[in-house]
Structure 1
Amino acid sequence: MEQQTNRPHTLSPVARKKLLKVSTATLTSQLVLRGLRNTFIQGVLPLRPEKRMVGYAYTLRYAPAREDLGGVVYDNDTDIQRLAVEAISKDDVLIIDARGETRAASLGHILATRVMARGAAGVVTDGAVRDSVGFRELDGPTYVKAVHATTSSVVHYPADMNVPIGCGGVLVLPGDVLVGDGEGVVVIPSHLAESVATDAFEQEVLEDWILDQVEEGASIKGLYPPSAEMRSEYERWRAAQGPFPEERAETVDAAR
């Protein structure tokens, strides 16, 4: 087992800010345009849907448990689950390959609390968590497939950390950018994160503008998608905005 801690790419502050504002739906659309069709983690829902998440994948891989390995007494110096918890860095997301297995938890509240205390951006598992009430009180977001009271070693054997995994049917590489919202989690390859952040943000600015026209009674014909004439009108409007149009609007409102 070789531990890899270096991130292939660190987000610029502007890209991170944009990823905190755009939806996972928009991000998946941008990834489809780049030929990536399987990036949304299946069957995983947020315990705190009001929380947004942007961070870097730090992976933990479980294999099926076997009775002669491990046990309910965990060794903090050798157990890979515990080593992963203590290896988390600021803005990492602990993402767990639990094989979709929900007959026992893949993480508990105390370990998740330690993960968050180390500055993690969140926790994602395609398995279950235990002490779920405590998870809902954590400051950071958690995305899970289920809840289960039984301890992890009954079903899971922690096999490796910070290696490529599958989570909810999606490949996750260490350092991939993970974005979560009220719908779930999308995986963005690190080398695409900057361009995806920029294009997704601009897509939502355009769609917000279109929505404003529709709410005022406009037909979607020639508007969604925009015709050349409507695109020109939008571009004139966009050129008058700052880099973050909604912030400009908030500033104007505050000044009134």
Structure 2
Amino acid sequence: MDETTRQKLMHVSVATLATALFKRGLRNQVIQDVRPIKPKGRNMVGPAFTLRYIPAREDRNQLAEFRNPAHPQRVAVESCPAGHVLVMDSRKDPRAASAGDILVTRLMVRGVAGVVTDGGFRDASTIGDLDIPAYHNRPSSPTNLTLHEALDLNIPVACGDVAVFPGDIIVGDADCVIVIPQHLADEIADEAVEMTVYEDFVVEQVKAGVPIIGLYPGTREEHALAFANWRAQQGR
């Protein structure tokens, strides 16, 4: 992805991005029931690289499967490009883990920007201490083989009721994760930066006792003039 766009998306909230997408008619882009294991103090930003799980069948999913060098989960960990976000479709089922701390550590070492599942992670507390953003539904100890079969790499998937296409831009903050269609990423980033500047101004005004009507959204000339002066003083 464009590095300028990446940097812009590092400093805006998922809530702001959701509003910018809603203006374009996109209402269902926030991945549901997924949250950070531990906030990192920075956004997760990167193109999606996907892994799809299907329901496990006992004759196909025994522990011996992990010895197979072509096992899709292991291949995903070794092939997700640096700077991308590994997004796992685990059927919104956290009863069995999508991955554990060893695989997520490997993703971190390889320079992957983050990892998201609508299922759960085992060793979640350890993953939370790693220097890689990780988002899931809740901790889960059983191996994925008990309920999930890793099947497909880098295809369109569903994650938390959101369609995710390879290359879509994934942004996660301290609250949740949103999916930005790749062709909209640059303009959404630009708009979100502008929205964030105004929202920072609004917060200062509200803390100073200014009423919200006419300020947010800005519909009064007096607030437009105050914002222009504030922005000049702030150098933003």
**What's the TM-score bracket when you normalise by the shorter of the two chains?**
over 0.9
Cα displacement (A) at 1:68? 1.3
Separation of aligned partners in 1, 2:143 and 2:162 = 25
Matched to 2:231, the amino acid is R
Bigger mean CA deviation after superposition, 129-138 or 119-128: 129-138
Cα displacement (A) at 1:18? 1.6
1:174-204 Cα deviation digits (max 9, x unpaired): 0111111111100001111111111011111
1:65 corresponds to which of 47, 56, 65? 56
Structure 2 residues not aligned, in runs of 5+: none
TM-score (norm 1): 0.86
Separation of aligned partners in 2, 1:221 and 1:30 = 21
Cα displacement (A) at 1:173? 0.4
Matched to 1:53, the amino acid is M
Separation of aligned partners in 2, 1:202 and 1:76 = 49
Q: What residue number does 1:16 align with?
A: 6
Cα displacement (A) at 1:157? 0.6
Matched to 1:166, the amino acid is A
Matched to 1:27, the amino acid is L
For the residue of structure 2 that corresponds to 1:58, the secondary structure is: strand
For the residue of structure 1 that corresponds to 2:53, the secondary structure is: strand
Provide the aligned length of Structure 1 versus Structure 2: 233
Does 1:167 pair with 2:167?
Answer: no
Separation of aligned partners in 2, 1:113 and 1:104 = 19
Separation of aligned partners in 2, 1:172 and 1:57 = 7
For the residue of structure 1 that corresponds to 2:158, the secondary structure is: strand
Structure 1 residues not aligned, in runs of 5+: 1-9, 246-256
Does 1:155 pair with 2:147?
Answer: yes
Contact kept, 8 Å, 2:201 with 2:230, in 1: the verdict is no
1:47 corresponds to which of 21, 37, 56? 37
Q: Give the share of equivalent positions with the same residue, in percent.
A: 47
Does 1:136 pair with 2:116?
Answer: no
Does 1:220 pair with 2:212?
Answer: yes
Cα displacement (A) at 1:16? 1.5
For the residue of structure 2 that corresponds to 1:55, the secondary structure is: strand
Matched to 1:187, the amino acid is V
Separation of aligned partners in 1, 2:172 and 2:87 = 12
TM-score (norm 2): 0.93
**Alpha carbon RMSD of aligned pairs, Å?**
1.5
Q: What residue number does 1:202 align with?
A: 194
Contact kept, 8 Å, 2:61 with 2:146, in 1: the verdict is no
Contact kept, 8 Å, 2:50 with 2:166, in 1: the verdict is yes
Does 1:238 pair with 2:228?
Answer: no
Cα displacement (A) at 1:149? 1.1
Cα displacement (A) at 1:103? 1.9
Contact kept, 8 Å, 2:56 with 2:147, in 1: the verdict is yes
Q: What residue number does 2:98 align with?
A: 106
Q: What residue number does 1:34 align with?
A: 24
